[in-house]
A and B are shown apart, each in its own frame.
Chain A
Amino acid sequence: MSRCVGPGGRQVLCTKPTGEVLLSRDGGRLLGALHLEHPIARIVVACVSSHLKKTGDGAKTFIIFLCHLLRGLHAITEKEKNSWISENIQTHERHWKNCCQWKFISQALLMFQTQILDCIVDRYLSRHFLSIFSSSAKERTLCRSSLELLLEAYFCGRVGRNNHRFISQLMCDYFFKCMTCTSDTEVFELVDDCFIELNVGVTGLPVSDSRIIDGLVLHRDFSVYCPADGDIRMVIVTEIIQPLFSTSGSEFILSSEAQFQTSQFWIMERTKALMKHLDSQNVKLLLSSVKQPDLVIYYARLSGISVVECLSSEEISLIQRIIGISPFVLPQASSWYAISNSALVKFCKPFILRSKRYVHLGLISTCTFIPHCIVLCGPVQGLVEQHENALHGAFKMLRQLFKDFDLNYVKQTSDQNDTSNPLIHKNSRESNQLLKISNHSIQKPHHDIVVKNGDELEKTQAYLKVHSNLVVSNIELETYIPCSATKPTPTNTFQIDDTLKYLSSEKNRIIDDYELLTDNNLTGNSKTENTRVEIPYEYLQVTKISRTKSKLPVRYKSLDLGTPQSYHSSSMPAGSVLPVGGNFEILLHYYLLNYAKTCQQSEEAMVSTLIANALLGIPKILFKTKKVNYSFPQIYLRTLHALQTNQLMVSSQAGLESVIGKYQLLTSVLQCLTKILTIDLIISIKRQPQKIYDQDSEDEL
């Protein structure tokens, strides 16, 4: 597995019993192809695939990380076992003892994952985050160059190294062509769900012939094609247009030959009239999910209506999602009314790719997705599939990246109204009032979080000053809202004494309350009752704030993010990224070790160091092939030095990776590990698996 990781990794060829040949660097696919037998291995594979389904990235890292964790655990238990041997315990008993110990560790891991990890990520790591959004304008705009870097880094690990640049360029083009300025995550959902319909694979052409096509390409040919100009309208049908003798559940009685002939005549006339009617409504294209009879085809041709038959239900639903029309319902009576369920089409023409014919539609989108298709070329099917999967994975990754991610972590926060622009708003007349908080634990850094109200009129900035005091395991939420005169200043204090009894319901409540307060604050300032709740989430951006040991926080803006940016409470903002090359791992390693030093409980410290050391395994592999100057120890030392001296980290490689992806990977691995560790016995059953009848399903029926 390790040979496929990262940009220097190589391809793996899989063959199937049917004779198909598949090329892959996708960890999940490879694991599936291996057909591992060991039950633990199968648990791992199941965990990986469920992780992949969600994020589309990181299967190989998953395995490596897990491997290192297990090795680390083994080393720890070995050490302890040696001490036990002197106690002369019987083997069986020792086994149970071992299991108990593992279970203990697994609990510690779980606790770490739910409590400590989030806090560390938020407090320390978030300072290093970069954002892929450029914040020059008020709107959240996507920075093309950083997206390119991100995608390139992603495809480095997924497709063959001679193609990754081309594919990432293709993806980038596709992305920007499909997005409108108002597009949101809904586009990702659509592309992610319907990706199979949005690309066309062609074998036998060089990869460089792949391209993006405006409009939608349906994997079917026209049954009837009538070239039409001007306004083309189209309808979707999901049933046979021609009336039939009988529908299901009914009976049609033929009593005479004349009746039979008249009924056939009526069917014909009816079909003809319907087609004429469609034609009169300027409908020139009929998309059908079923095969239509010859009669319908004939009359469609006579009326100059193009017909596409046998579309899959996925294609139909994609078209419906894009243009937002429902299928055409056949009028029951002879009354003809205007057809409402039709949509305008820019063009519709046949499209020939490698002597196979497709239907090319120019849909006018009613949602934020502008339809485009990717034509993927490659010499062999395996390569085309690999690229297809990689692109799909990339969209999954982006979908995750563009979502805010809430961390289960609440800090002691204090709001403060700060007027950076006193000229603009009279409400913000209070001067830059800094709250004096007596900081008891000096070694804990101040964490400054800036919320920027994105309103165009107001430049109010609220500095949320965070002071965390986790050593005493107390979490206090203090909110001071020194608002303008209109609103009283509510000051709420929540206190939770014990972190260990940190129930999720309580957490939620606190977060809710906190948001409420923020909301109050903002509405008080702006006096506009729009969807201000969303704003902090919409305009989330990260500031790199230097960590200083003084009490007055000194802020400086990170180099690539020019204007002051906002940040809000304990959620990971959408679009946060880090440079590639094991930066995430090294950073987390560093902070975890630091944390472990301050830990009082031994197992917490143990778990943190364990994870920290295991994390280093990934960059070690990444830098294995590099030259001396870029070898792992060099990079490691350089980074640590930079961290200790509060310098900006210099990344040796261009390229970015999603923080959320990494974070989710970490939590998935830890969950998987706890699952494995809680198992104490494997019982193998040689019998055929018996069918388990699901009782719920019967109820549903």
Chain B
Amino acid sequence: MSRLEAKKPSVCKSEPLTNETVRATLSVLKGVLTSCYGPSGRLKQLHNGLGGYVCTTSQSSALLRNLSVTHPILKILTTSVQNHVSCFSDCGLFTAILCCNLIENVQKIGLTPTTVIKLNKHLLNLCTNYLKSEACGCRIPVDFSSSQILLCLVRSILTSKPACMLTRKEIDHISALILRAFLLTIPENTDDSIILGKSIIVPLKGQRVTDSTVLPGVLIEMSEVQLKRMLPIKKASALKVALFCVSLSGDFADTGEGTVVVSYGMSLENAALDQLLNLGRQLISDHVDLVLCQKVIHPSLKQFLSTHHIIAIDRVGVALMEPLSKVTGTQPIGSIGSVSSSSYGIVKELCSAKFGSKHFFHLIPNEATICSLLLSNRNDTAWDELKLTCQAALHILHLTIKEPWALLGGGCTETHLAAFIRYKARNEPESILTDDGCTQAELQLIAEAFCSALESLAGSLEHDGGEIVTDMKYGHLWSVQGDCPSVVNWPDLLSRCGCGLYSSQEELSWSFLRSTCHPFAPQTCLPHKTVSPTSNLIVDCLTAKLSGLQVAVETANLILDLSYVIEDKN
């Protein structure tokens, strides 16, 4: 029974950002996110009082998914970050923290939202143009002829997720695996357009991390008994495969809207089974060696096939259908009548494999762009984190192949960008203020807020009480160990900058990040010799970071622009 109830009027609040509680919750959220940021970030354990398992993570995607925020403003922030992460899989925390920083900094200034938004937009354009331009001093080209930068990219992603609980050696192992899995999905002989394949992540929980491996082709999990029954496979040459997407259990498909009258004594089951056996005979005469079915195969048909030495595997599931059809080159068969000979495919080899306690059928293709990545980690939560990280890394590699550039990581891009903006705003304000309405003083204020948002973002990479300094030539980030003596020889204390591109032996001068320093022009145009093969760089994906920057500024603008919140309390 439905209950009618009059709708309650909504609650309308004005100027939500001036509210003290909103500010407090925003800063709490920022605190949570900031403490997770970077390789030395702290982990968060998420309990749900109502049940479910405990999640240990430092990733934005897992964190925000499990975190429930109530205030609409926070909701906007978190959904916008989540949407970004679902598009790019990376730079989620970067986006969220930058957005919080911007909102906080701008509120301190007290300019009208109109000018703030306009200027933020100008500064964002300045940033994106700079990052896309040739002169950009914080991006490096990705060279696909060597695996160096790609490996750096994957390793940077893995190191920035401390909840995976990997040692240095394990990180090296996993990043090599991820890169190999990615390379296996690239087709060998390409025409004009490349269609990348897919890597399927197969869980292997409870094993050592170094047991993880990559195999070409598809793995189908099954019980040991089943496997024993089917093996050994005698055939040495390639196997002929039929892949069915209809049910082979003899059930009756759609009969239409009218009624079907079955006369007494007639057995539809027998009729259906006859049809199935006919199909079986056809398969035998076509010399099929392996029958795969998405749904269920009738036991009689199974029996019939196995007596003729045909391996039948059913209940494959819809998720594996596309990879299977790619690996074997079959067309999924939708008919239980005649089967066209063009729908059959071929597998190079079929063997059994055992990883840990699990048994698999392994379909090895001649050449295909499908591979299986067997991932193992010590416990469930760490495995979940590792799986998310691997997916993110594979996605990032995809994005990098589309746009072969990488940004310097480790906070160097942020400090460099901040130095660049500060210099531009001070020395060439006319180029930023293209249209009317904003004064140069306003620009100075907003540029300072924008830069300090970027710098404090870079600074939040440091969690162990260390100090952050920046050099006055490249604008990179250097971190100093905590409790250092006050007057020291800087080059001795610092070894390499955040991204690892420059060493401290280059006659540089440093200043503290949060101190007021004279704006300088950071050196653009990277020298070409930079990436030596041994150098261990930290790099980020350009596409993801650029979009993260844009989303962060746009979301901050959106939140600053709010003048009312109408809450529907029904």
Contacts and interface: CB of A to CB of B under 8 A. Distances in A.
B562 A204 contact: no
Interface stretch (A247-255, A485-493, A494-502, A558-566): A247-255
Interface residues of A, number: 69
Given A13-B73, A162-B117, A255 B263 contact: yes
Given A33-B10, A246-B257, A205 B87 contact: yes
B567 interface: yes
Contacts of A251: 258-261
Contact of B263 (A14, A204, A254, A688): A254
B168 to A, nearest CB: 32
B337 A34 contact: no
A204 B83 contact: yes
Contacts of A23: 76, 558, 562
Contacts of B563: 3-4, 9-12
A379 B551 contact: yes
A257 interface: yes
A441 to B, nearest CB: 47
A252 B554 contact: no
Contacts of A252: 255-256, 258-261
Interface stretch (B46-54, B197-205, B338-346): B338-346
Interface centre among A10, A161, A264, A302 (most CB of B within 10 A): A10
Interface in B1-40: 4, 7-10, 12, 16
Contacts of A383: 558
Contacts of B4: 688
A13 B84 contact: no
Interface centre among A19, A21, A256, A355 (most CB of B within 10 A): A21
A254 B256 contact: no
B253 A293 contact: yes
B176 to A, nearest CB: 26
B10 A301 contact: no
Interface string B312-348: 0000000000000000000111110110101100000
Contact of A36 (B9, B76, B343): B9
Contact of A264 (B10, B270, B337): B337
A249 B87 contact: no
Contact of B568 (A16, A207, A264, A380): A16
A10 B117 CA distance: 11
Interface string B539-570: 00000000100110011011001111111111
Given A14-B568, A246-B255, A246-B257, A295 B335 contact: yes
Nearest to B75: A21
Contacts of B565: 12-15
B267 interface: yes
A195 to B, nearest CB: 23
A203 interface: yes
Interface centre among A21, A206, A240, A379 (most CB of B within 10 A): A379
Contacts of B281: none
Nearest to B68: A19
B555 A246 contact: no
Nearest to A379: B80
B246 interface: yes
Contacts of B113: 10
Contacts of A161: 114, 117-118, 561
Across the A-B interface, give the 6 residue pairs with the lowest CB-CB distance, nearest first.
A298-B334, A246-B258, A244-B256, A204-B83, A294-B334, A248-B257
10 contacts: A10-B561, A11-B558, A23-B562, A162-B121, A245-B256, A252-B256, A254-B261, A254-B268, A296-B334, A380-B555
Interface of B: 4, 7-10, 12, 16, 72-73, 75-76, 79-80, 82-88, 112-114, 117-118, 120-121, 245-246, 253-263, 266-268, 270-271, 274-275, 331-335, 337-338, 340, 342-343, 547, 550-551, 554-555, 557-558, 561-570
Interface of A: 3-4, 8-17, 19, 21, 23, 30, 33-37, 160-162, 203-208, 240, 244-257, 260-261, 264-265, 268, 293-299, 301-302, 354-355, 378-383, 625, 688
Given A161-B114, A204-B551, A295-B246, 6 more contacts: A13-B76, A244-B256, A246-B257, A247-B258, A295-B253, A380-B555
